[in-house]
A and B are shown apart, each in its own frame.
Chain A
Amino acid sequence: MTFTSWQFGVFVAIVFAAYYLPALRAFQVQLLVFASLFFYGYGQPELLALLAVAVFGTYLFLVLALRNRQVWLPVGIAFNLALLAFFKYKLLFIDPASPSLVDFAPLDFLLKLPLPIGISFFVFHNISLLVDLTRQKATPPTLTGVFLYIIFFPQLVSGPITRAEMFMPQIKPKYFADIAFVEAAKWILTGFFFKLYVSNNLNEMTSYISFPLYETLQTQDRWLLVFLYSYQIYADFLGYSAIAIGLGLLFGYRLPINFNLPYISTSFSEFWTRWHISLSTWLRTYLYVPLGGNRHGVWRTYLNLMIVMGLGGLWHGAGLGYLMWGLLHGLLLVLERPLLARLASIDFAVFRAARMTVVFVCVTMLWIFFKLPNFDHAVGYLAGMFTPTTNPNPTKLFYSLALLYSLPVMIQHLGFRPLFEGRLRWAEPYLYGSMAALMYLEAGAETSFIYFQF
């Protein structure tokens, strides 16, 4: 059940109506847990058991770690990382199409299970829960509270990755009168608009980046499509995150903001404070800082950055392309680090624009490894960007359509928001209404969210 399906609309309407019934107020958390289980099991019922194992296991280790953090916290983290590693990286070693992988039937069954949707996200939630609550030496939360934090349906599949210390205090009775309807509507409409109008339409063009379709592209179109993919992946993931935040607000929960105009970043370190903020925050809090962060000298800091970004890349999937993507981002962070103070001291508009351009172009080029996780394909695509095409029948792309479908991302990054919060405040609801109409009229062909695969 994806956010853009009519089934999801019906599901949300029913859960929302029941959630605020006075008679059910005492069971709001249980209702959301049940709804989230239904949401998850709708697509992959066979994996509900795994979700239960992950949650019950984490809860057990949480209770034990609250008694003895030194022993049980590492065990709890290892338990979750083992789950992630088993499901995410088993395909490096086995061929799931084989009739029988091992002689032991239960293990054979486990090995053949598909990648559980959202496992990368809920495993990070579990680790956050273990670390945050044991650090605070809090009293053990209720099991339903833990369930809700881990499997709350708006964020279950693709985040935002919410930290336990931010979410758990929000678990309390919710009232209809407290709903931030306008804010929720803005998030939800923005999310659907960016997904349906921008991402799905751009996807019709960027699908040509796939191998071997990209062989038919002209050189200049390879360049164009990489930039379109840069806009698409932003619109797609922003779309999902925005819908999740809006839905969270409808049920009285404030989820963290995941994107803050990342393509206006003037440095790579700034980019990671604006792109997939919840993941970069998680990696900083639970990986970079425990590794020592920048506290052990320059070279150790560089090593830590490379480790964190490399693992961040592998978190997306078991592929050389993802690893390369992460490591190259790590390298860019390392290379710019000694220069940051000097660059920041040069403060005039043209220089800032040039820095933005450099960061945007580099980030965009690295998306090739993301779009084409097969390393050979990615290198083949890159090579074609620098050699003239000789194909007499190249694929035709409509540049006007590419521009019109990318325009919302560009306009958003130009920073018109203050205008609509000030002088043009009266026009804001009409603008959101027009976006709603446009996403209905001009929706591109249905595709799943890019981050669903992680």
Chain B
Amino acid sequence: MSAVRWLIKCGAGAAIVLIACGFATVRFGGGLQMPAATTRDGTLVTLSRYLREPVPDIVLVGSSITFRLKEEYFATPGLRNLALAGGSPVTGLEIVAKQPRLPGVILVEANVLARPTDAALVKRYSRGDIEPLFFRPVRAAVAAYEQRLHAPLTHEQVALDLRRLVGQPPGDFDNRVYVNHALQQFNAEDPTDVVQFNAKRVEELIRLVEQRGARVLLFELPYAEPIEGSRFAATTREIVHAAFPDSKRWLPIEVNRSELRWADGVHLDERSAVIVTQAMERALALARTGK
């Protein structure tokens, strides 16, 4: 076989696969939910879904700490959690603020403000062209398989399990090794400059979205006791409260701390996440009726 013929056949093979995937994307593209093999993937799935579906009433933006508050834990309808595992609340807030329509209430986590905004992600989700030209055939096949096995749950489906979970005693997992690692990291660097910068940006974004009719409330999720006293947590708390001194700007989360447990001192375990979610819902109901 001559080199030219070989290369033409090779090109034809590539073209056939590309065309097939292009047609499949046109046919199924809008409904595909790619599996989140990594935290980055999870971010893309969450954000793509937010842009594709109708604007919800309430949106949470945050980091991996808020990511643990699963949407199905909330009884409140029309709530969407846009927290980015490994990301910053400011990234989520930027993306929400850049959309043509805003949710009624935006809840912004104030725990992790030392990470820079993911400018590439903001740019990508500010253009509106979220549908790719071709889907990823392997990921799409796995997505279909995973969705068949584990379809997204609704609150009604899990309500009974959640009640049972909260009724159980707190977990006895020994997390000391993980807390020590986390504490080292939380004491390693001085976050002052970045947190001040991000707090200022949050202030600007709040002003922008509130001018357009949305309401913004800040919230702080509890850490394990040793982490609360770390340099990172203490500095962030001090700067954010100085920037937002009005108590009405905050969603109070009132829980019995002795009931809470953390996998690593930072991220709540499942039972604790449900308890915190319920406390947030109570506070949110009060905040909305009292506005």
Contact = CB atoms under 8 A, between A and B. Distances in A.
Query: Do the two chains bind?
Result: yes
Given A400-B142, A438-B17, A205 B37 contact: yes
A401 B142 contact: yes
A401 B178 contact: no
Nearest to B4: A181
A104 interface: no
Contacts of A390: 173-174
B17 A433 contact: yes
A437 B137 CA distance: 11
Given A398-B142, A400-B142, A438-B17, A432 B37 contact: no
Contact of B139 (A207, A436, A442, A445): A442
Interface string A18-52: 00000000000000000000000000000000000
B38 interface: yes
Contacts of A429: 1, 6-7, 9-10, 12-13
Interface string B41-77: 1000000000000000000000000001000000000
Nearest to B174: A390
B21 interface: yes
Interface string B172-202: 0110011001000000000000000000000
B18 A185 contact: no
Contacts of B9: 429-430, 433
Interface residues of A, number: 35
Majority secondary structure of chain B interface residues (helix, strand, loop or mixed): helix
B270 interface: yes
Interface string A421-449: 00000001111111011101110010000
B17 A441 contact: yes
Nearest to A403: B142
Contacts of A433: 9-17
Interface in B117-134: 134
Q: Which size class do B's interface residues fall under?
A: 35 or more
B10 A393 contact: no
A397 B142 CA distance: 12
A445 B134 CA distance: 16
A440 B21 CA distance: 12
Contact of A400 (B134, B146, B174): B146
Contact of B35 (A216, A401, A430): A401
Contacts of A215: 177-178, 181, 264
Contacts of B21: 437, 441
Interface centre among A201, A204, A440, A441 (most CB of B within 10 A): A441
A405 interface: yes
A398 B35 contact: yes
B244 interface: no
A201 B38 CA distance: 10
A424 B1 CA distance: 13
Contacts of B142: 398, 400-401, 404
Interface string A368-398: 0000000000000000000000111100011
B136 interface: yes
Contacts of A445: 38, 40
A358 B135 CA distance: 39
Given A181-B3, A398-B146, A205 B10 contact: no
A398 B45 CA distance: 15
B160 interface: no
Contacts of A393: 68, 263, 267, 269-270
Interface string A79-104: 00000000000000000000000000
Contacts of A401: 35, 37, 138-139, 142
A442 B138 contact: yes
Nearest to A197: B138
Interface string A396-426: 0110110011000000000000000000000
A404 B140 CA distance: 12
Interface of B: 1, 3, 6-7, 9-18, 21, 35, 37-38, 40-41, 68, 134-139, 141-142, 145-146, 171, 173-174, 177-178, 181, 263-264, 267, 269-270
Top 3 closest pairs, chain A to chain B, by CB: A433-B13, A430-B13, A429-B9
Interface of A: 181-182, 185, 189, 201, 204-205, 207, 212, 215-216, 390-393, 397-398, 400-401, 404-405, 428-434, 436-438, 440-442, 445
9 contacts: A185-B10, A215-B177, A392-B173, A429-B12, A430-B10, A432-B10, A436-B14, A437-B16, A441-B136
